Amino acid sequence: MKLTLHIWRQKNPNHVGRLVQYEHTQVNPHMSFLEMLDVLNEELTAKGEEPIAFDHDCREGICGSCGFMINGVAHGPEAATTVCQLHMRHFKDGDVLYLEPWRARAFPPVKDLVVDRSAFDRIIAAGGYISASTGSARDANTILVPKKDADLAMDAAACIGCGACVAACPNAAAALFTGAKISHLGLLAQGQPERNERALNMVAQVRQELFGSCTNIGECEAVCPKEIKLEVIARMNRDYLKASWTERDDTAKDGD
């Protein structure tokens, strides 16, 4: 297979980036998308050119490191698929592909297809934890969790923090990601002690990081490789409102 690739090249955040055209003639339909880029990088390196920088780690859809836009779609054309799990058999000989990094103010460029997603780490640090002691496994029946809640928490916990939701959102909102993290812990008994604090602190951190506001467009859900549902945003908003009212009532009582 042959492909024409237009790839965003940007030396560092201080340089102006541009799309550079590559004719890739060594594409095998059994390759993953990242393997296809690996082969292109080997060719570039052999010619003494700078290889294309892109993020990756597990290459099996679980770490959340990979991700860029393929023809304007975050993680490319296959639903529920990270770019590392996307295979070249989904493309045709002669296809023209445009590869660009996530574009959002809160994800500044690093190099080529790599952006800085440490804003997500700071949102997690603001509240994505519990204070219940961990350690050896407890008896399964010690903390009873209704099956429905366990399933919903598990669905939310599937978020890998890739950032595709932000890249796809016209507002560059981080609502799906943050809603998933707040839902995951807020649905479980172990997550109750910090539930209010978690919602207030994580949402405050989202604002500080300059993500946009959610206006229920739904592009995030459409591109999410882990099929996180918009309902996590509703759950986040409910937790945030309840926590704000509780905080207001507590302040009023203190003032009495």
Which listed option, ligand FES, ligand SF4, none, makes contact with residue 199 (CB within 5 to 8 Å by class)? none
CB of 93 to ligand SF4, least distance (A): 30
* Smaller CB separation from ligand SF4, 143 or 210: 210
Neighbours of 156 (CB within 10 A): 23
Q: Which stretch binds ligand FES (CB under 6 A): 61-69, 112-120, 126-134, 244-252?
A: 61-69
Q: Which stretch binds ligand FES (CB under 6 A): 35-43, 57-65, 164-172, 241-249?
A: 57-65
**Residue 205: which of 231, 174, 246 has the closest Cα?**
174
Interface residue with ligand SF4 among 5, 34, 97, 180 (CB under 6 A) is 180
Binding mask 65-84 for ligand FES (x = CB under 6 A): xx---------------x-x
By rule CB under 6 A, what count of residues binds ligand FES? 13
CB of 107 to ligand SF4, least distance (A): 11
* Smaller CB separation from ligand SF4, 177 or 211: 177
Alpha-carbon gap, residue 193 to 131, rounded angstroms: 8
Interface residue with ligand FES among 31, 63, 157, 158 (CB under 6 A) is 63
DSSP string, the chain: --EEEEEEE-SSTTSPPEEEEEEE----TTSBHHHHHHHHHHHHHHTTPPPPP---SSSSSSS-----EETTEET-SSTT--GGG-BGGGS-TT-EEEEE---BTTB-EEETTEE--HHHHHHHHHH----S--SSPPPTTTS---HHHHHHHHHHHT-----HHHHH-TT-B-HHHHHHHHHHHHTSGGGSTTHHHHHHHHHHHHHHTT-B---S--HHHHH-TT---THHHHHHHHHHHHHHHHHHHHHHHHH-
Alpha-carbon gap, residue 70 to 99, rounded angstroms: 5
Which listed option, ligand SF4, ligand FES, none, makes contact with residue 73 (CB within 5 to 8 Å by class)? none
By rule CB under 6 A, what count of residues binds ligand SF4? 14
Q: Please answer whether residues 86 and 225 qualify as being in contact, where contact means their C-beta atoms are separated by less than 8 angstroms.
A: no
Would you count residue 121 as binding ligand FES (CB under 6 A)? no
Would you count residue 164 as binding ligand SF4 (CB under 6 A)? yes
Interface residue with ligand FES among 6, 9, 59, 87 (CB under 6 A) is 59
Interface residue with ligand FES among 64, 76, 179, 191 (CB under 6 A) is 64
Would you count residue 101 as binding ligand SF4 (CB under 6 A)? no
- List residues near ligand SF4 by CB under 6 A: 159-165, 176-177, 180, 224-226, 228
- List residues near ligand FES by CB under 6 A: 56-59, 61-66, 82, 84, 160
